[in-house]
A and B are shown apart, each in its own frame.
Chain A
């Protein structure tokens, strides 16, 4: 997914008009289960096993996404993102677990710190 698609995705979320403060906070999920749910519901096939991002699916950055916005986007879908509209596609509990897993991931290293990305 390109940077344009990420911008589109964020715009879609804003259009959903879901201010976090207006909602009840969704229940927190289980990070360990969330890692498994990434596979069960095939999130990994586009985004990678830890949603670190790939050509088909961008990195899901939980600094930019609240749990509510994240869940709403998955339910609605986007230009390239399939619509997981209901419990049959992915239960609310699994969405919470996946979000918890994403939140608990270590940050990506700074590319400047990686010699293999700084050589000629």
Chain B
């Protein structure tokens, strides 16, 4: 073993310096690996953040579903929902002042449509409304309002109504027309599913809402 004096005057062992240097490098590498692993773990562990699309969507969806439920409940309580279901032109076999596919891109000009306008018209929320019924010939799904294809975050609220034989249509000029009379001429979009009793049928109004 050759002892070579260092510039500082201290004697240095060459092989020992080499070994210490290697251990220093290994320690540095080990430290950096641990720090890197910790950073990667930290980034992977935060699965849910305020910026996460799923969390923001969930809150918005819940809010929209509650709003849609409230709109339907309010309309059912004041009779405008039933009025909208019966806002039918038996001669044209369409909803009043609507196309064969319902009200396209707009809300009907009745109490229910006004509620939809007030609630969703100004908040950039689109709505589709369908009237569904199940009878002897299967399920019938009648489109009342169509404003587009719902997005993935769309929510649907439903409300069930009973229609009676003696209920009158609400379309202008047809207020004396009962469902019984419409059924006799097959001019209403749902048939009488409970003949010989006062109940005409049961329908479900489905309101789908989503942000445009």
The answer on A and B forming one complex is no
